[in-house]
Amino acid sequence: SQQGEEDPQALSIQEGENATMNCSYKTSINNLQWYRQNSGRGLVHLILIRSNEREKHSGRLRVTLDTSKKSSSLLITASRAADTASYFCATGQTNTGNQFYFGTGTSLTVIP
Amino acid sequence: EAQVTQNPRYLITVTGKKLTVTCSQNMNHEYMSWYRQDPGLGLRQIYYSMNVEVTDKGDVPEGYKVSRKEKRNFPLILESPSPNQTSLYFCASSLYGNEQFFGPGTRLTVL
């Protein structure tokens, strides 16, 4: 399988703390995206980083990409209870055209 | 409102009874895709389509069919459902295959 993997599988933090989750993948990519899913609902796109970018910011989100290590991290700063959700990385890989591979997700719980 | 709609949202059926899950988007997106989500396995891509009459297999296409006769619609067909196809299914669309917009999901149970 070419699926990515998120680490940790589950994360529990206090409101106001920062949350960091990591994603590793296996092959060369065009881009890497992060999505959020509230329990059982559809995924919502958060941010996309291209293979020639190393860091990207969007509001309280910071994404880094290290193509040499085939890994990415998502940092959520000053977390809120409303950030409680599952977070997935998805890769668009260069050898499979427009096919996408999602990781297994990190379940984040932010305690008020 | 820009959205991806799926129907039905919930479906319980029996082994072998053909079913179709519809997907429609109103954003004039070129790219549409179907995923299944299973506990511990994340989302896996079933089929995707870059444009009308163009479809390609994803990671887990066995047991599924799709068609793309119109830009806005991308139905998922299970000709002979089996219990291992019990899952949560998502349809998604995007303009060029990057940022994807997801539907609300269809929870399918095959008995």
For residue B88, the model assigns a pLDDT of 97
Q: Give the residue among B104, B57, B64, B67 at the shortest CA–CA distance from B84.
A: B64
CA dist A66 and B74 (Å) reads 35
CA distances to A52, B62, B91 from B37, in Å? 30, 15, 11
Residues of chain A below pLDDT 70: 1-3, 94-97
From chain B, pick out residues whose CB is under 8 angstroms from the CB of A42: 4, 90, 102-105
For residue A1, the model assigns a pLDDT of 52
Residue A16 to chain B, least CA–CA distance (Å):
28
DSSP character at residue A40: T
Residue A13 to chain B, least CA–CA distance (Å):
22
For residue B21, the model assigns a pLDDT of 98
- Average pLDDT score, chain B: 95
Average pLDDT of span B80-94: 97
Q: Tell which wins on pLDDT, B41 or B5.
A: B5
For residue A96, the model assigns a pLDDT of 59
For residue A50, the model assigns a pLDDT of 92
Rg (CA), chain A: 13
CA dist A15 and B48 (Å) reads 39
Residue A66 to chain B, least CA–CA distance (Å):
19
B59 touches chain A (CB under 8 A): yes
